[in-house]
Structure 1
């Protein structure tokens, strides 16, 4: 004889006032979205009037400038962007990874120290990297050094947060075993937490490098060097053929970095 089916309670029936509330929420949501769109000034007329400019831009993109002189300029800008991204990653790791260790709860750093590090890391990543670039351009002048420092400062805050999450995600067994042997906080961190999370931390570093490449491209628009600076010049002068070449070069760089990053992560066992 089969067991009786378990009794399931019927879902609660919405009260008589539920439907007006839902309609009110829906109307309010639509009103907010309409208000937001109107505030941006987007309209069909604006899009139609911009058709001529779009045709010029598209025509330039379909005929990139492949002259040897300009390709040499593009190559130098791509190399400089790569240097900014790598140097920024190095400086960010020097600051961000120790912060990540201190932030990780399973390291059990002193509460005042962890609180101070948390506030500092939040401040570093809370300020947009573009604003950091403007600050450093004002301090030391335009060029790749300003871009590198902007990428490094913002990246340190990101690595502190993401790295701490990876350190906290390790299996607790080996960590507890170390504590039972009488190991202090430093030993637990260096011999237990960090080795267990090294593959995932390396993956976070590679992800930050990918972000640095994209960020470095944008920072060039405010004078922080790299290919972004060349993009800004070509755009201001309406040299769409040069702009097309630069965009293609940036896409190639991003795809190459993404492929290399994925291969390294797979080698480390961080991805399947």
Structure 2
């Protein structure tokens, strides 16, 4: 079988095409391409490459440079560059900080604020709190949460006197109102934290003797109550006739030597007992 020259040429071309794999699109590039100013910046970005020409070129989008981790000083200083873009770069302009249209939250992200923001009643108290700042308007404003003022170490006299302010909030301020002290719904422990109590608490049989002891107070009910610990009455400098002891108590080996010592009493069993502390016997003069 004879083949013409043209047929042989076609056959060789087909075999060659199947033997040589094609290069994947944009798998390779030459440095000439990267440096060529006619290559699109977006193409170089797809390669993870850019030229210094692109970075400095004012027609390259700021967002493209941001994707490269680059920006030009032209962008930073350009008032048309979004404050949020500069924020993404860790940069801002003094123009942004002073611009009343820049969000307080953007300035907060920069660790910056304007005195205009601090004094502006539309700036959230929480934003000012994040700056460690507040305006006197906030402190005096009855709509500002007492807890926000507490976070600032501030309160208004309105809060202190307001019966809706929690006693615990006032306690955190080292303040209380006379309404709290006299209010039977205020916990005795809260008043104790203030160094205050009401006569209602002192006389109330539900108030713990230990709470009254912390106040340096007791009720006669406590003193006479056989369930009040002798040590509590001792802390008051008081005891009941029950405590005063019966001879049965003094002689009872289950009565602690320390309790008898508090009474100025001991039993001969204690004095002779080798487990009685020498200091206890010394306190007895024995």
**TM-score, normalized by length of structure 2?**
0.16
Give the structure, 1 or 2, with the largest relative contact order (CA under 8 Å, sep 6 or more). 1
More helix by share: 1
Larger Rg: 2
